[in-house]
Structure 1
Amino acid sequence: MWFRNARVFRFTKPFDITAEALEEKLLADAFKPCGPQETYRQGWVPPLGKRGEQLVHSAGGYHLIALRKEEKIIPGAVVKELVEERAEAIEAEQGRKVRKKEKDEIKEQVMLEMLPQAFSKNRRSFAYLAPQDGVLVVDAGSAKQAEDLASTLRKSLGSLPVRPPAVEQAPAFTFTGWLNETIDLPAAITLGNECELKDPSEDGGVVRCKGLDLHCDEIRNHLAAGMQVTKLAVTWDDNVSFMLDEELGIRRLKFGETLQDQLDDVEADDAIARFDAAFTLMTLELSRLIPGLLEALGGEDRSAIIDEA
């Protein structure tokens, strides 16, 4: 159980929930497959898949959950072809022109007829709640996908006081400072060989660099021209590599050999035990990475966060 991405949400006020209470809340919105005339369904499923029945997998106070989305796939080209065929048949039989409104009605009918035989596209999204760390972490490649899961969780719980974390200075400013060496690079961070530079002007361009020394003259020239670094490949503490963007999104997570070796040392033959061990190792590592990264980016702005008395 290794996340490939990490979109972090910060709890804005003290929040705690037991695995049992979370299970009960999610159960009301458990996943049910699409009905014959439905195009979309989503709901909570066991993170362990077929190997588990619980909707919450907890270890060390971290609660792992999974949201499943099912979408019926109906090829647009097939629908269009059938609509045209039926419209042409009506025109030939009745000697009149089929207008757009009627074609839309025909399209709806065609869709309804095709739905029961349509293929389903399924996707699972994972997240874990860490009340003791004050964060919700979503394995999502985009901010929208992460927000969709957080919104669905909020509906299931009735309340979910979270927001993306904020830092004291713009991440792009910090990234740029690291590359042009006007800001000291934290000891825990090693630069990778990939970045994205953007011209901040309204019609500014974007330059994507890969496989380069990020302190090379080519990149320095772009920075001297006023471009800013908006994405940056880094390694944290020689153990976790990822792509970090200006929205604090962590993508393409790769956990290093140290964690893999620790997992290999776990004496567990069954899949569930190894899943649990991997989840524990991952959450412990991210519990170090997230606050450390926020500090490296200039410190977290906690002005909108209510701490426990």
Structure 2
Amino acid sequence: MFFRNLTLFRFSPAISNDLDRLDEALGDHRLRPCGPLEMGTKGFVPPVGRGDEAPLTHAVKACTMVTVGGEDKLLPGSVVNDELQRRVQKIAEEEGRKVGGRERKRIKEDVLNELVPRAFIRSSRQRAYVDKKNGWLVLDTSSRKSAENTLTQIREALGSFPAVPLAPEEGPRVLMTDWLANGNLPAGLALGDEVELRDPASATGAIAKCRRQDLDGEEVKEHLRNGKQVFQLGLTFDERMSFVLGEDLIVRKLKFLDVVTEELGDSHPDAAAEADATFTLLTLEVERLLGKLEEWFGLPRPAEA
């Protein structure tokens, strides 16, 4: 249940009250099986447990987790085009005529109607939780598109959910470059062993990526002297978690260190108790980190809905 990435949105205190009906609202938006001629479906699935009777939310104190599930048919375009071309060529050979655009379109529809029901189905799961006390929507993904799709599902279920992207008052790229170049890291924060540096002068500027490297070394400093800035930076927070922070303020490669995971223990009576303990620990640790991100970069919580 530990998240591996954090994509973040914020919402106002007024919205927090509306989230009390989240479990009820999701009931009409459960994931249903993909129909024979459908390419995909999306809906909510239980974050903990399985079956139609399992709840669609899992709450600990002010934090509530949801999971958006998906079923997508795997039908490569090349397979459709190959079958279409085979049928068009067969008509040309047997009937001695050229297939027009309208007929070609009809043949393609026939191909899809035959192949879609036989396509393999790929299942997906996207976890997220809302922190009603602090106004965070936290998604376990580094993909902005996936995050937006999940946010759309929540909005459709609630009717409205005006969570907004982060609006930092301090430029992340400038601040992280200062951390790396001058060692001006906030208390509790330490450099990791990964960085991505880019020349900000143009979109096609030089890029330097370093992994498993001493970030205080001369090679990194030389890139900084040549004008490159930090776009992603490996960090350790309070010796409890490591991650890579991007200039988009997406937290990637999140890993809780042994001192955290050892606090879980292994004496949980059942799966539900273990899920409660893990989610509690996750949200407490992430709450501390997000509070610091809010402080370092100036991430205001919306005042109104």
TM-score normalised by the chain length of structure 2? 0.94
- Cα distance in structure 2, aligned partners of 1:232 and 1:244: 5
Residue aligning to 2:255: 254
Q: Percent identity?
A: 39
Q: CA deviation at 1:226?
A: 1.1
Q: CA deviation at 1:108?
A: 2.0
- Cα distance in structure 2, aligned partners of 1:307 and 1:24: 24
Letter in 1 for 2:148: E
- Cα distance in structure 2, aligned partners of 1:155 and 1:8: 19
Which aligned pairs between 1:269-288 and structure 2 lie closer than 5 A?
269-288=269-288
User: Contact (CA 8 Å) 1:57, 1:65: kept in 2 or not?
Assistant: yes
User: Contact (CA 8 Å) 1:127, 1:138: kept in 2 or not?
Assistant: yes
Q: CA deviation at 1:79?
A: 1.9
Provide structure 2 residue ranges, at least 5 long, that are not aligned to the other structure. none
Q: CA deviation at 1:37?
A: 0.7
Letter in 1 for 2:234: A
What is the aligned-residue RMSD (CA, Å)? 1.9
Give the match's secondary structure for 1:124.
strand
Given the alignment of the two structures, is residue 90 of structure 1 paired with residue 91 of structure 2, yes or no? yes
Letter in 2 for 1:187: A
Question: Where in structure 1 do 4 or more consecutive aligned residues deviate above 4 Å?
Answer: 17-20
Q: CA deviation at 1:196?
A: 0.4
Q: CA deviation at 1:22?
A: 0.9
1:102–1:6 Cα change, 3 Å: same
TM-score normalised by the chain length of structure 1? 0.92
User: Contact (CA 8 Å) 1:91, 1:98: kept in 2 or not?
Assistant: yes
Letter in 2 for 1:300: L
User: Contact (CA 8 Å) 1:57, 1:64: kept in 2 or not?
Assistant: yes
Residue aligning to 1:63: 64
1:83–1:33 Cα change, 3 Å: same
Which aligned pairs between 1:77-156 and structure 2 lie closer than 5 A?
77-156=78-157
User: Contact (CA 8 Å) 2:294, 2:300: kept in 1 or not?
Assistant: no
Q: CA deviation at 1:94?
A: 1.9
Q: CA deviation at 1:100?
A: 4.3
Q: CA deviation at 1:13?
A: 4.6
Given the alignment of the two structures, is residue 47 of structure 1 paired with residue 47 of structure 2, yes or no? yes
Paired residues, what number? 303
- Cα distance in structure 1, aligned partners of 2:221 and 2:273: 49
Residue aligning to 2:3: 3
Letter in 2 for 1:161: P
Q: CA deviation at 1:158?
A: 1.2
Letter in 1 for 2:196: E
- Cα distance in structure 2, aligned partners of 1:301 and 1:270: 39
User: Contact (CA 8 Å) 1:69, 1:122: kept in 2 or not?
Assistant: yes
Q: CA deviation at 1:219?
A: 1.2
1:128–1:86 Cα change, 3 Å: same
Given the alignment of the two structures, is residue 241 of structure 1 paired with residue 258 of structure 2, yes or no? no
Residue aligning to 1:300: 299
